[in-house]
């Protein structure tokens, strides 16, 4: 069976790598928020295909709903996504 790039949650497809990054970076240690270093891992997962797909947008909306970013990470990530999406 081929490895899937998606994770289905409540019947909706999300980017598996992005979900796994959010889960891994908020589990166990720290304060449970997505830090700037974590956000840099997320942006790498978003930009790896060269464009910001609808699935990635849906995944980011899910991550923003379910996880908390530090203020610094939130501002940096939003700026990076805007820059990337504008290209």
Give the pLDDT confidence of 25-43 residue by residue, as tens digits.
Answer: 998 777 889 999 999 999 9
Q: Does 65 score more than 90 pLDDT?
A: yes
Confidence band, pLDDT 50/70/90 cuts, at residue 57: very high
Largest pairwise CA distance in the chain: 41
CA distance 78 to 19: 17
Q: Give the per-residue pLDDT at 86.
A: 85
Measured at the alpha carbon of residue 63, what is the angle toward residues 57 and 66, in degrees to the nearest 5? 145
Q: Does 7 score more than 80 pLDDT?
A: yes
Does residue 57 come out as left (phi exceeding 0), alpha (psi in the -120 to 50 range) or beta?
alpha
- The mean per-residue pLDDT over the stretch 44-58 comes to 91
Q: At how many degrees (to 10) do helices 54-66 and 16-26 cross?
A: 20
Q: pLDDT > 70: what percent of the chain? A: 97
Structure tokens at 25: 């970076």
Q: Does 15 score more than 90 pLDDT?
A: yes
Q: pLDDT > 90: what percent of the chain? A: 76
């Amino acid at each position: 069976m081929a490895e899937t790039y998606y994770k289905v949650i409540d019947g909706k497809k999300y980017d598996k790598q992005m979900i796994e990054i959010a889960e891994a970076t908020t589990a166990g240690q720290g304060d449970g928020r997505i830090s700037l270093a974590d956000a840099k891992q997320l942006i790498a997962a978003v930009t790896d295909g060269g464009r910001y797909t609808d699935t990635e947008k849906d995944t980011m909306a899910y991550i923003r709903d379910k996880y908390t970013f530090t203020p610094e990470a939130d501002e940096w990530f939003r700026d990076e996504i805007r820059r990337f999406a504008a290209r």
